[in-house]
Structure formats: C-alpha cells, structure tokens
Amino acid sequence: MAMLTVKQLSKNFGGVTALNDINFSINKGEILGVIGPNGSGKTTLINCITGFIKASAGEIIFNGRNIKGMQPYKIVNLGICRTFQIMRPYSSMPAYKNLIIPLYGPRARKTGGWRGGGRHGDRNIIALDLLEEVGFERESKVPYKLAGTLPTGYLKRLELARCLALNPDLLICDEVFSGLSMSEIASMVPLIEKLNKSGVTIIMIEHRLKELFKVAKRIMAISYGDKIIEGSPTEVMANEKVKEAYLGSEGGV
C-alpha cells in the first residue's frame, strides 16, 4: 500500500483553477520530485496535503486514512511535515531555540522526536545536535544568532531541522534549494540523501532540476494545475509539454 495517495485533487481560488484532477502516490522510502513553472500549483498541492488550505475536491489518503480537511496540527501529528518556501522562523529567538517548540510538541512526545529527544534529555542540547545534523557549525556562534538575522542558506536548513525535530514519516520540501549558492546546494544534496536513507519518505518540489534529479528517481511534472507526466527524470525531460512549459523559464536545466 502506498504511504500517500492523492486522488482527483482539485483546488479553485475563485475563478482560478490552481489544481485540476491531480492523481499520484508515493511509497514508503521513496523520494518523489515535483516540478513545474512558477504558478503551476506546487505550493497549493503542499498546502492541500498538509491542511493549510482545503482542497475543492478529491481525496488525500495517508497510511490508509483520508486526511483531506483535517487541521494542520493533526496532520503533523500523523507524521507529515513540510518546509515553507517563504521561511517563517521565530525571528526574535536564537536559531536553536526555534527547535524547542517542536521538540515539546505532541508529535515529538508521541514518537520520541528526533533521536528520542522529544521525551528525554536536555532539549537545548538536542536542538544544537539537530542544527549540527543539518549543517550548522556546532562550535560557531551561528546556532545562537537570532533566527531573523540568518542568511537564506541557514534558514533553509533551520526549516529542515524544524521538521526533523518532529520525526517525520513524510517530509515535504518546498524549494529548499532556491536562493542557495551552488556550493550550498551541493552540501544540501547529501543531507537529503542521508535523511532518506534514515527512513524518511520525501516529496521534493524543486526548480533546480539538475540537483533534484540526483536524489529523486521519480518525477511528476505539473503545469497550470494539470499533471503533465510522471516518470524517470529522462522520461519527464523528453516530454514535449514539459519542454514547452519550461521554455524560457528560470527552471530550465
């Protein structure tokens, strides 16, 4: 059985059809890449799956349960965590303190959280361990800096750490590579691979196709709310509609 199955999902905003009859599924342990030009409905898809907005039609089945219309906090507690394309840290708190809240949350308490840190141990230490895991230099001052002062590269990593604190079964990343330098992306790729090997199933929405194709062996392309194709990176990039959708767009390889 698939971990997540999305069936005939549609979302309209007034007259705008942001998603139109989207169908896909992901199995435990997989990395699925989702691509599509700006405005094609990628973030809307995440928002529907994670309960931030209610889909207009369709079903979202997670581990056998229809989660469509559930509140976001309940969906998190079931094990789906997402990063935000526009990062929303607690700006006036130090970076590591941003992780204290998820480490005390019900999901972390229920599952033990990241390496059991939601149940026992000093959560300040666990938060610092977690930041180190995603690439903050442990001995530097960076983990102690106010989150609002961090550059994009660290904020993207903080987003990942916030999700990991909750011990997710399914992690959904909304353009975690965007705004990063080539070297920052290069260091992020092994991190994603490591998380996946440790058992986290991942949906990656990405514009950076070259790097995405290193980690995701199955890709779904959407354009103007329609699913165009699903297949291997080679199959997807050979598709005429995908080429057309990407022609002249910043997402081109």
Residues contributing to the site for ligand ADP (CB under 6 A): 13, 16, 18, 36, 38-44
The Cα 232–Cα 216 span in angstroms is: 9
Q: Quick one: tokens of 10?
A: 């549609």
Binding residues with Mg ion: total (CB under 5 A): 3
Orientation of helix 152-164 relative to helix 182-197, angle to 10°: 10
**Which CB, 169 or 175, lies closer to ligand ADP?**
175
Query: Is residue 83 near Mg ion by the rule CB under 5 A?
Result: no
**What is the residue whose two structure tokens read 């991942």?**
202
Query: Is residue 20 near Mg ion by the rule CB under 5 A?
Result: no
First to last CA, the chain: 34
Which residue stretch of 81-89, 94-102, 120-128, 145-153 sits at the interface with Mg ion (rule: CB under 5 A)?
A: 81-89
**Which CB, 165 or 245, lies closer to ligand ADP?**
245
Q: Beta-carbon neighbour count of residue 208 at 10 Å?
A: 22
> Which of Mg ion, ligand ADP, none does residue 152 bind to, with CB < 5 to 8 Å depending on kind?
none
Which residue stretch of 85-93, 108-116, 118-126, 157-165 sits at the interface with Mg ion (rule: CB under 5 A)?
A: 85-93
Closest CB 98 distance from ligand ADP, rounded Å: 24
> Which of Mg ion, ligand ADP, none does residue 36 bind to, with CB < 5 to 8 Å depending on kind?
ligand ADP
**Which CB, 47 or 167, lies closer to Mg ion?**
47
**Which CB, 41 or 233, lies closer to ligand ADP?**
41
The Cα 249–Cα 253 span in angstroms is: 10
Q: Beta-carbon neighbour count of residue 9 at 10 Å?
A: 24
Selected from 5, 20, 43, 47, the binder of Mg ion by CB under 5 A is 43
Which runs of consecutive H residues, i.e. helices, occur in 57-178?
Answer: 72-78, 100-104, 106-111, 123-133, 152-164
Q: Which residues lie below 8 Å from residue 196, measured CB to CB, with a gap of 6+?
A: 29, 31, 202, 215
Closest CB 40 distance from ligand ADP, rounded Å: 4
> Which of Mg ion, ligand ADP, none does residue 102 bind to, with CB < 5 to 8 Å depending on kind?
none
**Which CB, 18 or 171, lies closer to ligand ADP?**
18
Give the residue closest to Mg ion by C-beta: 43
Q: Beta-carbon neighbour count of residue 150 at 10 Å?
A: 22
**What is the residue whose two structure tokens read 């230099």?**
137
Which residue stretch of 78-86, 181-189, 228-236, 240-248 sits at the interface with Mg ion (rule: CB under 5 A)?
A: 78-86
User: Sign of the CA dihedral 59, 62, 63, 66?
Assistant: negative
Where along the sequence are the contacts to Mg ion (CB under 5 A)?
Answer: 42-43, 85
